[in-house]
């Protein structure tokens, strides 16, 4: 038997080493059922970071259907620190720490949405691509990691990930003390007409006229546009079998332009008015690229489109101002493009209706963030006076820029005060400035 001498020094060294966060965390991760992990922390980082795979049932009500591994990135700050669940709506994005994580110096579980990215079963069972199943995934993760992290729990997400945050709060209200969805829509139909009202009233009349004039100009020059777009599409190696033709995809892109312009608003001055065809076509491609309406562009988001078309709702295109110049549409088309190889269930808005009713009457401890320019704000949540939840619309920001760091100081103070009142812990606003 090997003996460590001096014994006191050896015991002190062992105690200090064994109690380091890295050893304790890895031991805890090792003891979690159905979790595998790999350390990915950068050398010299002030926090530990791990790439996790968590075994999840394809159907939480019927484990006999099989399992898949859900990818999660864990950032560890401390066992007693708050923990943020960063809910995604798609694949895990390649970006740094989120604002809420920084505000609270919190641990973070960044969770890939089921059936996206690396979180895919051997074959997708489309009937199990629902909000009920996706939030059950989150609940499993929450219950696992509550064995490790004892501080306050907060969920947050952006865009479809923000909608995931809302659905998660609805199905499992006790899992987290606070939910902070960013730019998150809750559509009221498959063709949410609040979008049309937004597009008809947003900005100045002059700006709206410029948008419409660009769309009309391009539709009037459709033949010339398609000839140039054939070469553009060949260079991008994309195809148009899903829509049926490059012409139909072009008209989709033109109809999408107004929605996309406000969603990622830059400046009305960026809209050309010089009647130069190439300038107009470049403006379209910059804002509403036809590649999004190619087979390859649609395939990338087919799971998202499936959910929109069956359960979550979406938006459409009002063709009334353009009918005279359209060759492929006689009624308002949908912006959702579910896979044609799948039997699509009839659209059912009942979940969103239940969620909206619950948010109105019982949806406490949610803080909603929206952008003043963002088209999706039209389908956002406005809390009632029956709940303590708050809504912050940040002026002059869009879908990508509506963030806490873009709030003015007074709004930031109100935001911090609202969160503190809900869960009783302070945030450090300087962490994101």
Burial (0-12, 13-18, 19+ Cβ within 10 Å), 326: middle
- Is 334 part of a structural domain of the chain? no
Range(s) of the domain holding residue 57: 20-188+351-432
Q: What is the pLDDT of residue 266?
A: 87
Pairing of strands 107-111, 67-76: antiparallel
- Is 40 part of a structural domain of the chain? yes
Structural domain ending residue among the three candidates 325, 341, 361: 325
* 38 and 141 both lie in a single domain: yes
Q: What is the pLDDT of residue 97?
A: 87
Q: What is the pLDDT of residue 13?
A: 39
- Is 7 part of a structural domain of the chain? no
* 228 and 356 both lie in a single domain: no
* 182 and 207 both lie in a single domain: no
- Is 2 part of a structural domain of the chain? no
* 278 and 384 both lie in a single domain: no
- Is 118 part of a structural domain of the chain? yes
* 171 and 236 both lie in a single domain: no
Q: What is the CATH number of the domain that holds 84?
A: 3.40.50.1820
Structural domain ending residue among the three candidates 325, 340, 375: 325
* 153 and 64 both lie in a single domain: yes
Q: What is the pLDDT of residue 5?
A: 42
Q: What is the pLDDT of residue 267?
A: 94
Structural domain ending residue among the three candidates 287, 310, 325: 325
* 241 and 362 both lie in a single domain: no
- Is 112 part of a structural domain of the chain? yes
* 121 and 231 both lie in a single domain: no
* 241 and 103 both lie in a single domain: no
Number of folded domains in the chain?
2
* 257 and 142 both lie in a single domain: no
* 203 and 267 both lie in a single domain: yes
What averages of pLDDT result for each successive group of 10 residues across the chain (433 residues)? 41 44 95 97 89 98 96 97 98 90 97 98 95 98 97 98 98 98 98 98 98 98 98 98 98 98 95 97 98 98 98 98 98 98 95 98 98 98 98 98 98 97 95 89
* 262 and 200 both lie in a single domain: yes
- Is 5 part of a structural domain of the chain? no
């Amino acid at each position: 038997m090997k003996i460590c001498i001096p014994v006191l020094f050896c015991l002190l060294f062992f105690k200090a080493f064994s109690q380091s966060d890295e050893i304790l965390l890895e031991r805890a991760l090792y003891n979690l059922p159905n979790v595998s992990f790999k350390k990915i922390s950068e050398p010299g980082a002030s926090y530990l970071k791990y790439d996790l795979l968590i075994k999840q049932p394809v159907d939480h009500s019927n484990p006999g259907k099989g399992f898949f591994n859900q990818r999660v990135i864990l950032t560890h700050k401390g066992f007693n620190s708050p923990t943020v669940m960063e809910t995604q709506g798609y694949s895990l994005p390649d970006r740094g720490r989120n604002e809420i994580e920084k505000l609270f110096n919190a641990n973070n579980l960044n969770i890939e949405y089921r059936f996206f990215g690396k979180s895919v079963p051997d074959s997708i069972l489309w009937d199990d691509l629902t909000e009920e199943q996706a939030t059950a995934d989150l609940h499993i993760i929450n219950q696992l990691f509550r064995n490790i992290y004892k501080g306050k729990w907060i969920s947050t997400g952006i865009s479809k990930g923000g909608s995931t945050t809302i659905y998660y709060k609805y199905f499992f209200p006790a899992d987290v003390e606070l939910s902070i969805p960013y730019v998150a829509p809750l559509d009221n139909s498959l063709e949410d007409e609040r979008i049309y009202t937004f597009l008809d009233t947003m900005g100045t009349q002059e700006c709206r006229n410029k948008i419409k004039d660009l769309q009309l100009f391009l539709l009037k020059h459709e033949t010339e546009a398609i000839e140039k777009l054939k070469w553009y599409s060949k260079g991008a190696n994309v195809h148009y079998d899903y829509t049926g033709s490059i012409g139909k995809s072009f008209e989709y892109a033109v109809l999408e332009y107004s929605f996309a312009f406000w969603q990622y608003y830059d400046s009305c001055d960026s809209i050309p008015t010089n009647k130069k065809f190439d300038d107009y076509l470049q403006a379209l491609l910059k804002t509403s690229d036809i590649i999004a309406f190619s087979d390859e562009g649609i395939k990338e988001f087919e799971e998202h489109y499936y959910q929109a078309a069956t359960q979550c709702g979406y938006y459409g295109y009002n063709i009334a101002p353009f009918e005279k110049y359209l060759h492929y549409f006689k009624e308002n088309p949908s912006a959702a493009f579910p896979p044609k190889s799948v039997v699509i269930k009839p659209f059912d808005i009942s979940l969103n209706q239940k969620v909206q009713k619950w948010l109105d009457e019982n949806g406490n401890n949610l803080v909603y963030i929206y952008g003043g320019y963002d088209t999706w704000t039209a389908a956002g949540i406005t809390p009632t006076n029956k709940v303590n939840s708050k809504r912050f619309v940040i002026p002059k920001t869009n879908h990508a820029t509506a963030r806490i760091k873009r709030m003015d100081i007074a709004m930031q103070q109100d935001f911090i005060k609202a969160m503190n009142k809900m869960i009783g812990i302070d945030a450090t606003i300087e962490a994101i400035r």
